[in-house]
Amino acid sequence: MSEIRAGTVLPAARQPVTLRTADGLSLVGELALPAGRPPAATLICLHPLPTQGGMMDSHLLRKAAFRLPALADLAVLRFNTRGTTSEQGTSEGEFGDGETERLDVEAAIAYAGAAGLPRRWLLGWSFGTELALKWGNDPAVDGAILLSPALHRATDADLDAWAASGRALMALVPELDDYLRPDEAIARFSRVPQAEVIAVDRAKHLWVGEPYVRIVLNEIVRRVNPRAWPLPTEWTD
> Contact 219/231 with Cβ under 8 angstroms?
no
Domain residue ranges of the chain, discontinuous segments joined by +: 2-227
pLDDT in tens, the chain (237 residues): 899 999 999 999 999 999 999 999 999 999 999 999 999 999 999 999 999 999 999 999 999 999 999 999 999 999 999 999 999 999 999 999 999 999 999 999 999 999 999 999 999 999 999 999 999 999 999 999 999 999 999 999 999 999 999 999 999 999 999 999 999 999 999 999 999 999 999 999 999 999 999 999 999 999 999 999 999 999 997
Half-sphere exposure of 41 (CA within 13 A, CB side): 22
Within 8 A by CB and 6+ apart from 86, the residues are 28, 55, 56, 57, 80
Whether the model pTM is above 0.85: yes
CATH class of the domain at 2-227: alpha beta
Q: DSSP letter string over 151-218?
A: -SSS-HHHHHHHHHHT-EEEEEEETT-SS--HHHHHHHHTTSTTEEEEEETT--TT--SHHHHHHHHH
> Contact 74/39 with Cβ under 8 angstroms?
yes
Task: Check residue 86 and report its DSSP letter.
Answer: E
